[in-house]
Structure 1
Amino acid sequence: PPAALYTTAATGVSVARPPVVLSRSAATAPAMGRPAMAAMPTGEVDEAVSTPSAQGGAGSVLKLSQVSTAAVFALGSVLYAVSRFFQGPTPRPLAPVDLAHYGTGPVASTRSIAMAATTSTVPMITNDEVLRAQRGWGEALVRIATIYDEKGFEAAKAEAEAVIDGGYGYNIAPVLFKPTLTTGDQVFRTTREGALSYFVGGNPQYPNDGGFALKGWRKVDIENAAIFLDGNTGTSVGNVIITDKNGNVTKVDKTWTFLKDEKGNLRIMAHHSSLPYVPPAAITNDEVLAAQQGWGKALVNIATIFDQKGFDAAKAEAEAVIDGAY
């Protein structure tokens, strides 16, 4: 029968959702005057006396409609679809970033890459690989300087370009490069052009660059304070000691971050270099006493000049003392 509700006049119970009892056959319907068992929405049973129904002039008892299994599953499917609608779409993991998508040409300095939180197919970077990359950087610096001394600027520039293209990550993203000897609004060299100018100079767009790699370097020693490895990146911090052909030594504080690319090559993505901080020497007691004696002698000298040579000469001496001692 099509009826989906079971009601009794005594209780007025209306079950609009499927009761716990899904179906009941006509043979189990209660007879007139006998208690009827009403299945409640919560699974409870309500006991009530059913009353005759005037239908065709003959009294009949209210029967519990038989609910088909197909109808129940259909209703369940509808409810599931509604629940999925309110839950929203099923979350999906982020796809990994394809580094090759960014090309091999120069990139804008404002470009950034958001790495997805997924397992990379690139093998993890190792401590030995970081050490080899550091040594490679030092060897490249010496090689550029030597080529410059032996073959001139153009040959050294070509070598520097090859080193930058092979060892830095400008083909992937802006490199966070802060060289040692840069100033003003050109301190940071996030582009290939800026890095090349720093190493070899000769670019009118960077008039203060003298070519750091052209200064006769012959030896590079690296003293790491620590190396941090994280997946396919490695960061080192320490000192780099560079010696030129005349034996002069320059020591710089240096931080590198290396990225292992899809081909397994290490590329520098961050490079910070600066001269070590040298605090001023502490003043001594003898220096204070000497400054006091100098002030007294200057006072006597100004007075003597005034007596012997007049006001203008004394004024000139006083100006010299003030400019030199104050």
Structure 2
Amino acid sequence: MNKKSNLRPITEEEVLSIQRDWADSIISIGKIFLNKGNYKLEAEKTLNKLYAFDISNVLFKPTFASQNQFRNNFKDALSYFIGGDIKEDNGFAIKPWSKIRFGENKIIISNDTAIAMGNYYFTSEQDKKNETKVEYTFGYIRDINGNLRINLHHSSIPHSGH
């Protein structure tokens, strides 16, 4: 199943834009959680808008997943972000985070697909003086409406050398 389009080639600016959208969405889910709002609905909207579960296979290996390492469907991804059916999930997006910034190593674009790799940095709402550095690889495809969607998301803590 792959209903991606063959519209205009993906641009670097679009990749940077979806990364900002992803970061802003994760922060928003956490804020809604803190304010006792419907954070589940916000998380569902984020997954539907930014991830390609409805149009393609999605390869998702979250940072803090060890027993159930891969979240290749909507329900398991939702559990990772807000807690749910998978026992080890504490809700990554409801930690919550006050700031998320991307640092690129490289972006590769091939017409209607793109891959970005680098580090992203997370600042928690509870400790705004420290950042957590996390390695990432994201893959993107364009949907039939021309929007970028995530079809690959791998995230891990850098090896400590021990």
Q: Same fold, TM exceeding 0.5?
A: yes
Amino acid paired to 2:7: V
- 2:63 maps to what in 1? 180
Structure of larger gyration radius: 1
Change (3 A) 1:224 1:213: same
State the distance in 2 between where 1:189 and 1:121 align. Answer: 27
Amino acid paired to 1:198: Y
Compute the TM-score of the two structures, normalised by the length of structure 2: 0.94
State the distance in 2 between where 1:127 and 1:278 align. Answer: 31
Counterpart among 120, 124, 127 of residue 240 in structure 1: 120
SS at match of 1:226: strand
Q: Any idea what the Cα deviations from partners look like across 1:186-218, whole Å, max 9, x if unmatched?
A: 100000000000000032xx1111000011201
Counterpart among 14, 36, 39 of residue 129 in structure 1: 14
Amino acid paired to 1:221: R
Counterpart among 85, 93, 99 of residue 3 in structure 2: 99
SS at match of 1:151: coil
- 1:296 maps to what in 2? none
- 1:159 maps to what in 2? 42
* Unmatched runs of 5 consecutive residues or more in structure 2: none
Displacement after TM superposition at 1:151 (Å): 1.9
After superposing on structure 2, the runs of 4+ consecutive aligned residues of structure 1 that deviate more than 2 Å are none
Counterpart among 188, 193, 199 of residue 81 in structure 2: 199
Q: Any idea what the Cα deviations from partners look like across 1:120-171, whole Å, max 9, x if unmatched?
A: 641100010000001110000110011100125xx11110000001110000
State the distance in 1 between where 2:14 and 2:59 align. Answer: 20
SS at match of 2:35: helix
SS at match of 1:166: helix
State the distance in 2 between where 1:98 and 1:131 align. Answer: 24
- 1:276 maps to what in 2? 158
Greater relative contact order (Cα < 8 A, sep 6+): 2
Kindly indicate which of the two structures has a greater share of residues assigned to strand: 2
Q: Does 1:254 align with 2:136?
A: yes
* Unmatched runs of 5 consecutive residues or more in structure 1: 1-96, 101-119, 281-326
- 2:28 maps to what in 1? 143
State the distance in 2 between where 1:187 and 1:225 align. Answer: 24
State the distance in 2 between where 1:215 and 1:208 align. Answer: 14
CA contact (8 A) 2:55 2:143 kept: no
State the distance in 1 between where 2:64 and 2:6 align. Answer: 38
State the distance in 2 between where 1:225 and 1:201 align. Answer: 30
State the distance in 2 between where 1:261 and 1:170 align. Answer: 11
State the distance in 2 between where 1:277 and 1:140 align. Answer: 27
Displacement after TM superposition at 1:261 (Å): 1.3
Displacement after TM superposition at 1:98 (Å): 7.2
State the distance in 1 between where 2:111 and 2:99 align. Answer: 31
Kindly indicate which of the two structures has a greater share of residues assigned to helix: 1
Counterpart among 70, 89, 109 of residue 229 in structure 1: 109
